[in-house]
Structure 1
Amino acid sequence: MASNGSSMASPPAPGQICANYNGSHSMGSHFQLDYTLADTTKVVCGSLSFLLVLPFVLFEIKCFPIGTTTSVLTGAALMVITTVLTQEDVYHLLGETENLRTIFLLLGMMLLAQFFEREKMIGKILKMALKESHSFANYIWRVSLVTFIFAALFTNDAACVVLTPIFLKYWEKQKRKPAELQTLLLAIATSANIGSVTTIFGNPQMALIASRTDTEMFRLSTLTLVRSIIYLGVPALIAFFINFGFLMLHFEVRSRLKMRKYGIASTFSKARTNDPCTNGQNSPGEDYAFYGGQDAVGQIQDGQVDVQTFTKVDSNNGNCVMDEVPIPNTNPITDNAFDIALSKSSTKNNKKIEVEQHSDVAYQFKQSHSMVFKVFLCVLLTVVIILMFIKLDVVAFDIGLVPMAGATLALVVDAALNKRNASVIMGRVDWGVIMMFFGIFVWLHGINTTRIPRWIWKQMGLANANLDDTQTIIILCVFVIFCSNIFSNVPLTIIVLDQLEPCKNQFALVLYLAWCSTIAGNLTLFGSVANLLVAQKARETLDEPLTFMGYLKYGFVSTLIIVIIGIPIIYGLLLI
């Protein structure tokens, strides 16, 4: 036992690493980064490997739809093929604690979000919160608030994927004014990005910053959950109210412009089709529609009806007529367990309904209807968040392992209580995002190895900057905001984090980076993946486009104002 103990190196005491750094350099100065460029071969090969792949990462090229994840993995491979990085460097890089912590943090929260989506807990809350009688201001306020909170708990991407279809379905079912739709989409996207800056698991770049600074070398600059809520939560709340004001202004201006151009009728009413039976709610070309909309669908799903009333258009006079179609009274089934196919034949008597139901409930993404499990999920999420608040030397709760442990426990309890197979939940995780992070770690480490970003950092006057003067802060924020929209916020965050100096208090730089890189996502449609997800879901759900220019008209001015207001708030909080 003695020999084993002597052979294993004990972890350094808190502060010992930085003490060694300070003691090993002249006059106890901080560890100095190398701001000179690497050798010419590495600079040329690294730059080409970066620039050749960058367009495919940022844009969707229709003639070569390689996708973001594959593009990043290709860039990582090029860094190795061109010998910018060795094969050993790749394994060492992917095995670094900071990188694995980021992956575990995101994966754990994504798994937990799937449980909340499956149990329809968010949908039940929205059903109580969103009413047809609400004014538009009240409606947008509730949508923005729910999105803000959900993004802070489950990442902005998860918020947009889960909430956008639900919001749009409620909006359509309540037959609200079409003029509200564009503002509603902007509210979802912008509120998700603003809310995500509140916590260290609100978005990928926040998770990166938290994991990269959660080491002894960056102890003075560490971004913990408590610190993010205190220093970024306050400006985020203020930004939330400012953004709400801009949303209302956007709605008023857009409505008035449409009234001047098209008149009142086009602004406050829009028929999706000319079908008098379905009030414009059915898809073009359908002969039949459920009478009663979503309520009737819910009755069929619950297996409570034997006969369903349908409406159709009489081809002779164009009037609405009703017809009844028998439906087998089967066992209760859900959205993902059946497929109702309504015959669209021109023959009036040819009405068929096909119902397909999976025989094994364990492999369905289906609500459990277990109140015990729902309570367990709420308690589990609360415990996970509380443990991430705790930061003690005696008991260390890792920000990556805690969410993963919570997700694993949820999978086990789900199998025990609901007899569900864990592969269903795990299969719904966006593994492309996880693979993208592995590739992006290697790809961007390659460009950082050339030391080009570090050289640019020095030329901008940001090397060894204390960020206590207005000019330096402005340069940093402008650089982060616009580069986040050029290179995307996650790659930009990795590049800037590589400029952190060990054993030096650069907490201000960490906060400004987190604030600007996240809020910069509201500048353009391509500024954040969450924005693209909202646009995608809007087109899939209601065939409503959210265009680049339409987003830019709102996002450019509002984002710059929110960033400018947030920076002095953060600066003031640092002085307290």
Structure 2
Amino acid sequence: MAVRFIRASLPSSVTLALATAVFLVTYVLISLRTIRRFPIERPGVAMLGGALMLLFGVLTPAEALLAINLNVILLLVGMMILVSGLEVCGFFDLVSSRIASRAKSQISFLTWLMVATATLSALVVNDTVALLVTPVVIRTARALRVNPVPYVVAVAIAANVGSVATEVGNPQNAFIAIRSGIPFVVFSAYLLPVTVACLAVSIGLVWLVFRKEFAAPIVASAVPPVPVQRRGVALTFGVMIAVSAAFLASPSPVWLPLVALAGGSFVLFFLPFFSNVTPRALIAKVDWGIILFFIGLFIVLGGVRASGLSNTIQDGFTSALGGRSGGLVWLVGLSALLSNLISNVPAVLLLAEVVPQNSTQLWLALAASSTLAGNATILGAACNVIVVQGASRDGVTVTMKDFVKAGLPVTAATLVLSTVLIALLVPA
């Protein structure tokens, strides 16, 4: 009642001004990340922005609930539970150990590590893969008596690049899939070749940048044995394969959240019967921060639409995105810029307001560019922050210089390559 009263008593111009202020403050705070050495947590900022949209009467509670894209939330939760099941059963330790034991040199270890990380990131949400793979890679690098820093950077880059390939590879792709309606098969048919090409370039550039560190020999015999709950791994991996097959068979992205939630729920219920893992342990490993981040941003952007601000934003970009090749280049450039200023998830949610619904080329360009641009700096993507923070907890410091000297050339090369390939492969 109070929200309706506030909304009814305010003229539309005031509502527009309030919505604009909340929108700008939210996105500026997300881009700052710290104020006077006090960290700013993005989920908290997004939720505060959503709450202010309600408090100022821009949205009613019912409208705020409708603004939340439940399909995206369910898809992310289901996939995170699946990958958590693999982690707690020792799957990532097993994969890393096998790669290390077969590696004859550091370049061999790097190549297989980046290929494996990229593949896993295409199958499940890359943020979760990065979180779980990082400590395993550090342990393996120490066992091989090599510098772990280049491999930590490589994991972040590979996780970002690999996630481009599918609609479930990262949170922004999941949102684009639901928003655009592009079928899973169509999305991957166009972006899988782009991903493979970009991954090959990324491996070469990471090796080139860190070639001095990779010159040292490895000690394969130093890799310790890894305890694995094989029945649990078999169950969870089997469910993941079934879920991936169902994704491929899905005629519309509308089915993706249902399939992911069904797979996650199956693992959540049955995994304790096949291992010593508890449901509580799986639930605790879900990245609830990104879930709250999405919920808050959905409400903020719901307020942007309800106030009429989205029409103003859309009019501002219509001319830039109106041309065919020009629109593609503009979108890629703007996406790359915003992704490094405010991170790729809020950038995609904002730019989705101006991308034509029926333009497959622009939606795919937005998916690829927002993800690949995140490799430029540590702050460019949540995945990078997760990897660097995880490494820090294990006593490995990755500086901005360490990351940027590989991330910037990888970003520049893959953005150009992906844009050219999308322009050639995807009809405008």
TM-score (norm 2): 0.88
Aligned partner of 2:416 in structure 1 is 564
SS in 1 for 2:210: helix
Aligned partner of 1:512 in structure 2 is 365
Write the deviation string for residues 49-97 of structure 1: whole angstroms up to 9, x where unpaired. 1233334423134654452211111111111222222223112223xxx
Evaluate the alpha carbon distance shift between residue 509 and residue 121 of structure 1 in structure 2; reply closer, same or farther with a 3 A threshold.
same
Residue 131 of structure 1 is aligned with which of 90, 101, 107? 101
Whether 1:67 and 2:65 are equivalent positions in the alignment is no
Aligned partner of 2:202 in structure 1 is 243
Aligned AA for 1:84?
Answer: V
Aligned partner of 2:149 in structure 1 is 182
Q: How much has 1:397 moved relative to structure 2?
A: 7.2
Q: How much has 1:42 moved relative to structure 2?
A: 2.7
Judge conservation of contact 1:151–1:195 (CA < 8 Å) in 2: yes
2: distance between equivalents of 1:528 and 1:54?
A: 15
Aligned partner of 1:403 in structure 2 is 260
Judge conservation of contact 2:137–2:152 (CA < 8 Å) in 1: no
Judge conservation of contact 1:102–1:400 (CA < 8 Å) in 2: yes
Aligned partner of 2:353 in structure 1 is 498
Superposed counterparts of 1:542-553, under 5 Å? 543-553=395-405
2: distance between equivalents of 1:138 and 1:555?
A: 20
2: distance between equivalents of 1:563 and 1:451?
A: 33
Aligned AA for 2:190?
Answer: Y
2: distance between equivalents of 1:43 and 1:234?
A: 43
Evaluate the alpha carbon distance shift between residue 428 and residue 237 of structure 1 in structure 2; reply closer, same or farther with a 3 A threshold.
same
Aligned partner of 2:129 in structure 1 is 159
Superposed counterparts of 1:190-339, under 5 Å? 190-213=157-180, 222-252=181-211
Aligned AA for 1:112?
Answer: L
1: distance between equivalents of 2:238 and 2:84?
A: 16
Aligned partner of 2:244 in structure 1 is 385
Superposed counterparts of 1:109-148, under 5 Å? 109-131=79-101, 134-148=104-118
Evaluate the alpha carbon distance shift between residue 522 and residue 453 of structure 1 in structure 2; reply closer, same or farther with a 3 A threshold.
farther
Aligned AA for 2:260?
Answer: P
2: distance between equivalents of 1:383 and 1:113?
A: 14
Residue 341 of structure 2 is aligned with which of 486, 495, 510? 486
Unaligned runs of 5+ in 1: 1-37, 214-221, 257-266, 270-291, 299-333, 335-366
Evaluate the alpha carbon distance shift between residue 415 and residue 139 of structure 1 in structure 2; reply closer, same or farther with a 3 A threshold.
closer
Evaluate the alpha carbon distance shift between residue 106 and residue 547 of structure 1 in structure 2; reply closer, same or farther with a 3 A threshold.
same
Evaluate the alpha carbon distance shift between residue 448 and residue 486 of structure 1 in structure 2; reply closer, same or farther with a 3 A threshold.
farther
Aligned AA for 2:354?
Answer: Q
Aligned partner of 2:296 in structure 1 is 439
Judge conservation of contact 1:56–1:67 (CA < 8 Å) in 2: no
Aligned partner of 2:6 in structure 1 is none
1: distance between equivalents of 2:107 and 2:223?
A: 25
1: distance between equivalents of 2:103 and 2:198?
A: 27
Evaluate the alpha carbon distance shift between residue 66 and residue 513 of structure 1 in structure 2; reply closer, same or farther with a 3 A threshold.
closer
Aligned AA for 1:551?
Answer: F
Evaluate the alpha carbon distance shift between residue 499 and residue 137 of structure 1 in structure 2; reply closer, same or farther with a 3 A threshold.
same
Aligned partner of 2:4 in structure 1 is none
Q: How much has 1:48 moved relative to structure 2?
A: 1.8
Q: How much has 1:449 moved relative to structure 2?
A: 3.9
Evaluate the alpha carbon distance shift between residue 187 and residue 79 of structure 1 in structure 2; reply closer, same or farther with a 3 A threshold.
same
Greater CA drift, 436-445 or 231-240: 436-445
Greater CA drift, 163-172 or 222-231: 222-231
Aligned partner of 1:414 in structure 2 is 271
1: distance between equivalents of 2:355 and 2:317?
A: 15
Q: How much has 1:450 moved relative to structure 2?
A: 4.3
Residue 51 of structure 1 is aligned with which of 4, 18, 24? 24
Q: Percent identity?
A: 24
Evaluate the alpha carbon distance shift between residue 552 and residue 453 of structure 1 in structure 2; reply closer, same or farther with a 3 A threshold.
farther
Aligned partner of 2:312 in structure 1 is 455
Residue 468 of structure 1 is aligned with which of 318, 321, 324? 324
Aligned partner of 1:286 in structure 2 is none
Judge conservation of contact 1:388–1:397 (CA < 8 Å) in 2: no
Write the deviation string for residues 390-434 of structure 1: whole angstroms up to 9, x where unpaired. 1349xx971001111111112222244447542221122122222
Q: How much has 1:175 moved relative to structure 2?
A: 0.8
Q: How much has 1:555 moved relative to structure 2?
A: 2.0
Q: How much has 1:482 moved relative to structure 2?
A: 0.3
1: distance between equivalents of 2:407 and 2:311?
A: 30
Aligned AA for 1:140?
Answer: L
Judge conservation of contact 2:97–2:223 (CA < 8 Å) in 1: no
TM-score (norm 1): 0.67
Q: How much has 1:148 moved relative to structure 2?
A: 0.4
SS in 2 for 1:399: helix
Q: How much has 1:168 moved relative to structure 2?
A: 0.8
Write the deviation string for residues 154-211 of structure 1: whole angstroms up to 9, x where unpaired. 21111111111111111001112x3xx3322221111100000111110000000111
Aligned residues: 414
Evaluate the alpha carbon distance shift between residue 390 and residue 268 of structure 1 in structure 2; reply closer, same or farther with a 3 A threshold.
closer
2: distance between equivalents of 1:462 and 1:554?
A: 35
1: distance between equivalents of 2:381 and 2:306?
A: 26
2: distance between equivalents of 1:247 and 1:105?
A: 32
Please tell me the root mean square deviation across aligned C-alpha atoms, in Å: 2.8
Evaluate the alpha carbon distance shift between residue 454 and residue 565 of structure 1 in structure 2; reply closer, same or farther with a 3 A threshold.
farther
SS in 2 for 1:544: coil
Judge conservation of contact 1:168–1:538 (CA < 8 Å) in 2: yes
Aligned partner of 1:319 in structure 2 is none
Q: How much has 1:458 moved relative to structure 2?
A: 3.1
Whether 1:105 and 2:75 are equivalent positions in the alignment is yes
Aligned partner of 1:554 in structure 2 is 406
Q: Which has the higher helix share?
A: 2
Whether 1:42 and 2:42 are equivalent positions in the alignment is no
Q: How much has 1:461 moved relative to structure 2?
A: 4.2
Aligned AA for 1:155?
Answer: V
Write the deviation string for residues 288-307 of structure 1: whole angstroms up to 9, x where unpaired. xxxx99859x8xxxxxxxxx
2: distance between equivalents of 1:64 and 1:51?
A: 20
Q: How much has 1:124 moved relative to structure 2?
A: 1.4
Aligned AA for 1:54?
Answer: Y
Judge conservation of contact 2:205–2:409 (CA < 8 Å) in 1: no
Q: How much has 1:46 moved relative to structure 2?
A: 1.7
Judge conservation of contact 2:106–2:216 (CA < 8 Å) in 1: no
